[in-house]
Structure 1
C-alpha cells in the first residue's frame, strides 16, 4: 500500500461514524502484545472525535449554547 493510500484509508477511518476499521486497512497494521489493531484503532477513532468536539465547543461556545448538545454534536 502506498503512503497516500494508507493516509486516505486512515482519514476515512477517523471520519467514519463507526469505530470499526475497514478490514483491508486494518490488515496493513501490526498490533502489539497488549493491544490488538482493532482496539487501538477504535481508541484512536473515539479520541479524535472527542478532541474535535472539545475544540468546537471551546471555539464556538455561543453556537453550542443556542443549538444545545444534541444539534451541536
Structure 2
C-alpha cells in the first residue's frame, strides 16, 4: 500500500499538467495507435517481471499513473509476451 501525504498529493496535482502536455507531444509524434501499442507491451513486460517477484503491478490505459493492480505468475509468462 502506498500512502501519500497532502504535500505529496499537491506535488502530483502540480505535475499533472506537464504529464498531459508530454503525452500530447508523444501522441503527435508517434500517433495514438503506436502509443497504445507501446504502453500495452510495457504493461506485459512489467506484469511478467512482477510475476517473478510476486508484488503486484500497476497496468492500465495510456494516461496518468492511476491504474488497477494486476497479479501475474511465472507460469503466465507465455500469455503476457
Please classify the TM superposition score into its range, dividing by the shorter chain length.
0.3 to 0.5
**What's the TM-score, normalizing by structure 1?**
0.38
Higher percent of residues as helix: 1
**What's the TM-score, normalizing by structure 2?**
0.35
Higher percent of residues as strand: 2
